[in-house]
Structure 1
């Protein structure tokens, strides 16, 4: 069960947020995540509450107000190869129509947790 968090500077239109989340979900599904396994949240912050360096580490163009920080929390065990494919799929979607984001404006962070740390509802540990 991936949990996706998108953090952006507000205001962002619903089309922007929905487009980013759809791209992430599509990439996760392509990697084997079930279609119905969609848990996402958006943090839309004032500029003074979302600070980021415009060029770190060595970007070819500066980040701007369309910067999208995507955090993907999922169970451990995916290879670097799988993670690279997820990133490539996300960027392919985000840089195409209709969003046409600059890839330098997208940061993706994978966070992994052990399978037994997921409680899906009603106290059910389905992976233990």
Structure 2
């Protein structure tokens, strides 16, 4: 069960948000996540609350107001090959819709043990 958080500067429209979340979800589904396993959130912050370096580490174009940070929290066990495929799928999709300069997209994964997930009603499904 991935939990997706996209952080961006305040002011993006609903279509932009839908495109970004769709790209992430489609990439996760392509990697084996069930279609209905959708738990996504968007954090919109002011420039005072979302600070980032425009070029770290070696970007070809600087980050600007359309910079997005994609966090994917998932259960342990996915290989680097699967993670690279997820990243590649997200980047390819975002190039086309909403047409982002992908130098302005940062993605990271965080893994947690399966016993840390209680999906509802206090039930642990994978323990």
Q: Place the TM-score, normalised by the shorter chain, in its bin.
A: over 0.9
CA distance in 2, matches of 1:123, 1:81: 33
CA-based RMSD of the aligned residues comes to 0.5
SS in 2 for 1:86: helix
User: How far does residue 99 in structure 1 lie from its aligned partner after superposition?
Assistant: 0.8
* Structure 2 match to 1:118: 117
Question: Gaps (5+ residues) in structure 2?
Answer: none
Structure 1, unmatched stretches of 5+, are none
Aligned to 1:103: 102
1:86 and 2:69 aligned: no
Q: Match of 1:82, SS? A: helix
Deviation track 1:67-102 (CA, whole Å, cap 9, x = no partner) reads 010000000110000000000000010001x31100
Given the two structures, how large is their TM-score scaled by the length of structure 2? 0.99
Deviation at 1:116, TM superposition (A): 0.8
Moved over 3 A (4+): none
Taking the aligned partners of 1:14 and 1:46, their CA distance within structure 2 comes to 17
TM-score norm. by structure 1 comes to: 0.98
